[in-house]
Chains A and B, each alone.
Chain A
């Protein structure tokens, strides 16, 4: 499961991720992180069985947690199945099926956005969480 966490600038300096990992023993994978003067947000990958506990633990520190279902939108009306995104994606989130149709493996996407800026048909966009 993917979790999107959001925290205010007031707690940016606290080692919250480490505290959550120590408390829950969950093998959390940070897929993406962004921190600015307003605070920050992160996209995390957490094994399903740890999700509930991790969420509770984060919330204890005042971190907002949201479960993420969709990370990138693939508009199949605009897509022509060229597959230019296939080699651009650093996590191999795109492939062809047996009918040469483009397939998106959302579970692999880390929302880097490279495919969005490279698609000649404007068929890909990031889902704002």
Chain B
């Protein structure tokens, strides 16, 4: 058993033993956990990845005459200013009002760290104590009284990987996902990630001193969405932006998604006893995550399969018997550099460990949002749908269209969807003298909906494919109804009448 004070004494004396987390499995295997705990004092961890839930509190000082800023923009990116007169919080994912996705809050933060000038524009309603209604000026980070990074949710313990089952490319915060399981992307540093090395949060807690983007920072509590029960712990952290380095902080744009901030975090884990030695000997093989299908626009994305970080880092995983290439979103190279840098700080006697003043919760679960159930396809669809058999005669189908007034007919064989014909397809066939079965003129690649799909998703599908009806099918492709743009328009009419 060692105490944090004893470890700090070793740092002062210059004989502390620090190793990187990725070296621990071998050390523990060789010496055993008891001996390893005697040898090793500190294990350094690191991660460098896109952490959208990041931002900075800024204090600008007072203007003459003074202003109580009601709205504020930094390089045309709006910051939140509902906190007193001249304080604002700039969030990483807020987009520029003039440049859109290519520039956002993350870029403002990066520009401040790079000591670049930033244009400040603010408006106000004016009060007796703050009469000014408008201000426009240029500032740099040196002109700010404080620039304190406060990130509500960083350093995810692990994160589910992403893939895409659909026929089109998806643009997500997990990067570009190619159609038909064309690739898999994942985030996090695996066994090098801080929270994986202290999964019971014995040493990482409120007040833990950490490496944050090249500066000293602190854990200030559990992160939002902290979900320790299923090993998805997160941290809320803070640090002084003025001391941070552009090497460990990087603004990014995910195409057609938006901006994010790459944040570098390193946390020293004190090896207090054999248990901590064992915990820090975790390997990528031991850390399992699900690959989720981002093709389903729901918070409950289907799990395609479960994999370990070792498999993800190998660059290839198998899905449905095919080898699929895998990309990280996080930089493992920079994560290693962070763990090394932190190790150097400690060895040079520039960084001391702190014991948490309070432990992080270990029993939380992340719950979904409470809201009224949206309107689903099943609520608006016509059921049962009028369908035609694949061997029906074109002329008979033409008659059916005339008598029923229906424009879209799913084509079925034994109740299973095989195609769709529209009144236009049939009119074209009749005008062109095409004879025979409807199979000849139907569209075989049918865009469909499922009963539990939201109508927003159905509407988006119809818009994307420039069509006006979707057969509603079961998982066995049995047609149980049809939903049309008209059904959805009626609903909107009802809402506003």
Contact = CB atoms under 8 A, between A and B. Distances in A.
Nearest to B252: A120
Contact of A84 (B175, B315, B332, B333): B175
Contact of A87 (B185, B254, B255): B185
B176 interface: yes
Interface string A83-94: 111111000100
B325 A82 contact: no
A87 B252 contact: no
A124 B329 CA distance: 16
B262 A80 contact: yes
Contacts of A83: 327-328, 331
B50 interface: yes
Nearest to B325: A87
B203 interface: no
Contact of B328 (A82, A117, A122): A82
Question: Interface residues of B toward A: which range?
Answer: 20 to 34
Contacts of A69: none
Contacts of B326: 86-87
Interface in B423-474: none
A81 interface: yes
Contacts of A117: 176, 255
Given A81-B334, A88-B176, A121 B327 contact: no
Given A118-B176, A121-B250, A100 B327 contact: no
Contacts of B159: none
A25 interface: no
Interface of A: 80-88, 92, 95-96, 99-101, 114, 117-118, 120-122
Contacts of B315: 86-87, 95-96
Contacts of A121: 250, 252
Contact of B331 (A81, A88, A92, A118): A81
A86 B330 CA distance: 12
Interface in B39-66: 48-50
A86 B334 CA distance: 17
B151 interface: no
B81 interface: no
Nearest to B257: A120
Contacts of B332: 81, 100
B176 A122 contact: no
A100 B175 contact: no
Interface in B188-231: none
A118 B175 contact: yes
Nearest to B50: A120
Contact of A88 (B50, B254, B262, B327): B327
20 contacts: A80-B250, A80-B331, A80-B334, A81-B333, A82-B49, A82-B328, A82-B331, A83-B331, A86-B315, A86-B328, A87-B185, A87-B324, A87-B326, A88-B175, A88-B176, A88-B327, A92-B325, A120-B253, A120-B260, A121-B250
Contacts of B49: 82
Nearest to B102: A122
A84 B327 CA distance: 5
A47 B293 CA distance: 42
Contacts of A118: 175-176, 255
Contacts of B253: 120, 122
B173 to A, nearest CB: 10
B260 A84 contact: no
B148 interface: no
Contact of B178 (A80, A81, A88, A101): A88
Given A82-B329, A87-B184, A120-B260, 16 more contacts: A80-B48, A80-B331, A80-B333, A81-B333, A81-B334, A83-B327, A83-B328, A83-B331, A84-B329, A87-B178, A87-B183, A87-B185, A88-B175, A95-B315, A100-B336, A118-B175
A81 B329 CA distance: 9
A82 B183 contact: no
Contacts of A122: 253
Closest 7 CB pairs of A and B: A87-B183, A120-B252, A87-B327, A87-B325, A100-B333, A81-B333, A118-B176
